[in-house]
Amino acid sequence: MTQPLRVVVADDQALVRSGFAMILMSEGIEVVAEAANGLEAVEAVRRTRPDVVLMDIRMPELDGLEAMRRILDGNPDAPRVIILTTFDLDQYVYAALSGGASGFLLKDVTPEQLAGAVRMVRNGDALLAPGITRRLVERFARSDTAAGTLHRDLAALTPREVEVMRLLARGLSNAELAETLHLSEATVKTHVARILGKLGLRDRAQVVVVAYETGLVSAADRQA
């Protein structure tokens, strides 16, 4: 029997927490704890060992980004983290993804999108809306350090894996990657898994961040 998907919801607004919890439970997803601040979130994760954490950014005592860092730091079995916010701001998007988040959601998502996002990241996918990835590309393309020192050895990748990584960083799903490259989805998943293994990355979100930081993705790529 498949184990239920276990989630911690962290938000300083009680109505938001209970609303998200009700939505997830109605979708058969188990909410194992709720937290009103970052410190409570860290403790809840230690106590309940969830699969996914829905984490607000602006919370008292400890903000969501620092709470996420404490949860993920040095823990190979850490849950996936989806950052929730009402603010669609680049600084939060990049800070969340570079800090190890598997996704980024605005709080006006539909119930279906929320449940789908939790299932998606639990399965190892990244929740990266094309609009968000596009702004990240533009931001790094404008930066003087966008094509600076490589902190990952991309030379370990085959030409096909580099191609997959570049398209993945532009926000393409597995199905879109398969169609673009004329491959099966199974083959695409194999390429993604090999990229993660060779670069020592946790999931697709980290692949995207590395692609931007190394200059693999540029504004020219976006316009292609």
What CATH topology corresponds to 6-125?
A: Rossmann fold (3.40.50)
CA distance 14 to 174: 36
- pLDDT value, residue 147: 43
| Average pLDDT rounded to a whole number, residues 103-121 | 87
pLDDT on residue 5: 94
Q: Considering the chain, what is the average pLDDT of its residues?
A: 83
pLDDT digits (tens, 9 = 90+) for 122-154: 877 766 665 666 666 666 555 544 444 445 578
Q: pTM of whole model > 0.75?
A: no
pLDDT-wise least confident of 20-34, 59-73, 161-175, 202-216: 202-216
pLDDT at 63 over 80: yes
Determine the pLDDT at residue 149. Answer: 43
Q: At what angle do helices 90-98 and 204-213 cross, to 10 degrees?
A: 110
Angle at 148 between CA 142 and CA 73, to 5 degrees: 100
Q: Is the dihedral of CA 135, 136, 139, 141 positive or negative?
A: negative
> Tell me, what's the pLDDT at 223?
43
Cα distance between residue 24 and residue 30, in whole Å: 7
Tell me the CATH architecture of domain 133-219.
Answer: Orthogonal Bundle (1.10)
Q: What is the pLDDT of residue 22?
A: 95
Task: Give CATH 3.40.50.2300 domain extents, the chain.
Answer: 6-125
Q: Which helix (H) or strand (E) holds 94?
A: helix 90-98
Continuous segment of H or E residues that includes residue 195: helix 185-199
Q: Which of 35, 9, 12 is nearest to 20 (CA)?
A: 9
pLDDT at 161 (0 to 100): 93
DSSP 79: P
How far apart CA 62 and CA 41 sit, in angstroms, is: 9
pLDDT given for residue 124 in this prediction: 73
How far apart (Å, rounded) are the C-alpha atoms in residues 160 and 194? 11
The dihedrals phi and psi of 53, each to the nearest 5 degrees, come to: -120, 130
- 53/147: higher pLDDT: 53
In angstroms, the CA 115 to CA 53 distance is 12
- 6, pLDDT greater than 90: yes
Q: What is the mean pLDDT of residues 49-57?
A: 95
Q: What is the pLDDT of residues 14-39, one digit of tens each?
A: 999 999 999 999 999 999 999 999 99
Q: Where in the chain is the domain with CATH 1.10.10.10?
A: 133-219
CB 118 within 8 A of CB 5: yes
Q: Which two tokens stand for residue 218?
A: 């540029």
Select from 11, 111, 6, 91 the least CA-distant residue to 56.
11
